[in-house]
Amino acid sequence: MSSHHSIPISIIAANKSFWCISLNNLSNRLSFYSLFQPDSIQKIPLDIHNDEPIAIIGIENEIKLFDLQSGRCNIISTNYKYLPSYVNLIRANQCPINEFLVAYDNSQISIFDRRQKEGAIQHFYNHYSTITTLQMDTWKLASTDVRGFIRLWDRRMHPHSLWHMNPQSHPVTHCSFDKQTLICALTPYCKRPDMVKK
């Protein structure tokens, strides 16, 4: 995963550590988090903000923010501790500046604003299975889950979703919107169905 900032960097996440690599100088590698216990984490929620050189990483029920400026990986915040559940998904890309989204294992969604010391500023609860994708702009939020539900939220009307649909009971693996359209893709559980014998 690479940032889109003036200082090109790449983030590589392994099961025990993170590496921040400067794409201008590939020998400049910095390990900036390596405190995992063996086999304690199977998936690492991670995203990079598109408007700020910030990496946001979920570690169990805690969120850490890292400064990626100049290829340095300094922790800039550890305020987000003791969250309601383990972090399942983080979305910072295409979010408004200073804001990012977090989905938990209990299917709750929270909006965080780095300017607020208390952390999450809004919560959304109407999903009942694992959340698979998130996207947000200044007034709306789209979320999807493994049961095929697609929900659109108006941030000004939370916690009720603006509308929802469930076209098929397959996991939604992609969701993206712009000012006029919302595009979603579902991946069937059975990717290779048996051919019908003629």
pLDDT of residue 187: 86
pLDDT of residue 42: 64
Q: What is the mean pLDDT of residues 1-17?
A: 56
Whole-angstrom CA distances from 138 to 31, 50, 99 are 34, 15, 10
Q: In the numeric block, which tokens belong to residue 25?
A: 């100088």
Which domains, and CATH codes, for the chain? 9-186 (2.130.10.10)
Q: pLDDT tens for residues 100-113?
A: 999 998 989 999 99
Amino acid at 40: S
* Band of residue 38 on the pLDDT scale cut at 50, 70, 90: very low
pLDDT tops 90 at residue 145: yes
pLDDT tops 60 at residue 193: no
pLDDT of residue 111: 92
Q: What is the mean pLDDT of residues 117-131?
A: 85
- The 10 Å Cβ neighbour count of residue 102 is 27
Q: What b-and-e string marks burial along 130-169, b requiring 16 or more CB atoms within 10 Å of the CB?
A: bbbbbbbeeebbbbbbbbbbbbbbebeebeebeeeeeeee
Mean pLDDT for the chain overall: 76
Q: What is the mean pLDDT of residues 81-101?
A: 87
pLDDT of residue 136: 94
pLDDT of residue 8: 61
pLDDT tops 80 at residue 9: no
Per cent of the chain over pLDDT 90 is: 23
pLDDT tops 60 at residue 71: no
pLDDT higher at 84 or 127: 127
